[in-house]
Amino acid sequence: MDPIVQEIYQSIVDGDQKACAAGVQKALDQNIEPQVILNEAMIASMSEVGRLFEEGEYFVPELLVSARAMQAGMNLLKPLLVQADIRSAGKVVAGTVQGDLHDIGKNLVCMMLEGAAFEIIDLGSDVKPEKFIEAVQSTGANIVAMSALLTTTMPNMKTTIEAFKAAGLRDRVKIMVGGAPLTQQYANEIGADGYAPDANRAVALAKSLLAK
Ligand code: B1M
C-alpha cells in the first residue's frame, strides 16, 4: 500500500480527524486518484474499525470518532467526485431508514449519484416512512434510495415500501435499497425494484431503473 494511503487508513482507525484531512490533502497533492483514496484507504479502514468493534477492542465512541475522521476526509474528496452537470438524470430521495444512524454509506451513494447528474434530496438518517413519502410528494422525485446497516432496521425498508403502496404512490417511484447486511434476495422479498452492493453500482442501478 502507498505510504500516504496507509497514513489515511491509520488516521481513520485511530479516529484522528485532523490527520485524516491532512492525509487526504497530501494524497491529492501527490495526484493519487480520489477513487483510490476512497476505496483503499477510507472504506477499507472502516472495515477494520468494524472488525475491532466485533472483537471487543473498540466500543461505540471509537466507531463514532472513526466515522468523524472519515467524514473529514470525504469532505475534501466530494468536490472531486461530484462534477456538476446541469442536466438532471433524475431526482432521488435518499435516506437511511428509521432507527438507523449509519449514514456514511448513504452519503457515498448520494455523492456518486450527484456526480452522475442525479438531483439528490438527502433526508439524512433515521428517516420515517412518512418522511420519505412527503419528500416524494413535494419534489416529484422518481427514485427512492434507502440504506440500512443494521439487521434490526432492514425490516423498516419493507415498512416504507408498504407505506408507499398504502399512499397509492408505489407505481410513481422506483425504489432501490442497499447497505452492508442486504442481499439481492432480501430486496426481492421486500418488493424493492433494485439492490446495489456499493456506491458505484448504485449509480448503474439508478440509471437502469429509469431506463425501464
Ligand atoms: Co455501527 N454497526 N452500530 N456504528 N457500525 C455496524 C454496522 C456493525 C456491522 C459493527 C459490527 O458489529 N461489526 C454492527 C451491525 C450488526 C448487525 O446489525 N448485524 C453495528 C452496531 C451493532 C451498531 C450499534 C447497535 C452499536 C451499539 O450501540 N451497541 C449502534 C446502532 C446505532 C443506530 O444506528 N441506531 C451503532 C452505531 C454506530 C455509530 C453511530 C457509532 C457509527 C456510525 C456513524 C455514522 O454513520 N455517521 C457506526 C459505525 C461507523 C459502524 C461501522 C464500523 C462502519 C459503517 C460504515 O460507515 N462503513 C460498521 C461495521 C462495518 O460496516 N464493517 C458498524 C463504511 C461505509 C462506506 O460502508 O455503510 O456498508 P457501508 O456502505 C457501502 C455499501 O453498504 C453500499 O455502498 C456503500 C459504499 O460502497 N450502500 C448502498 C450503503 N447504502 C446503500 C444504499 C444503496 C446502495 C448501496 O442504494 C440505495
Mean pLDDT of all residues in the chain?
A: 94
In the predicted model, is pLDDT for residue 161 greater than 80? yes
- Give tens-digit pLDDT for 20-69: 999 999 999 999 999 899 989 999 999 899 999 999 999 999 999 999 99
Q: What is the architecture of the domain spanning 91-211?
A: 3-Layer(aba) Sandwich (3.40)
CB of residue 182 inside a 6 A radius of ligand 1 = no
Ligand 1 centroid to residue 150 C-alpha, Å: 7
CB of residue 176 inside a 6 A radius of ligand 1 = yes
Measured from the Cα of 145, ligand 1's closest atom is 91
Three-state DSSP string of the chain = CCHHHHHHHHHHHHCCHHHHHHHHHHHHHCCCCHHHHHHHHHHHHHHHHHHHHHCCCCCHHHHHHHHHHHHHHHHHHHHHHCCCCCCCCEEEEEEEECCCCCCHHHHHHHHHHHHCCEEEEECCCCECHHHHHHHHHHHCCCEEEEECCCCCCCHHHHHHHHHHHHCCCHHHCEEEEECCCCCHHHHHHHCCCEECCCHHHHHHHHHHHHHC
- CATH for 3-83 is 1.10.1240.10
CB of residue 198 inside a 6 A radius of ligand 1 = yes
Q: Where are the domains of the chain?
A: 3-83, 91-211
Ligand 1 centroid to residue 137 C-alpha, Å: 29
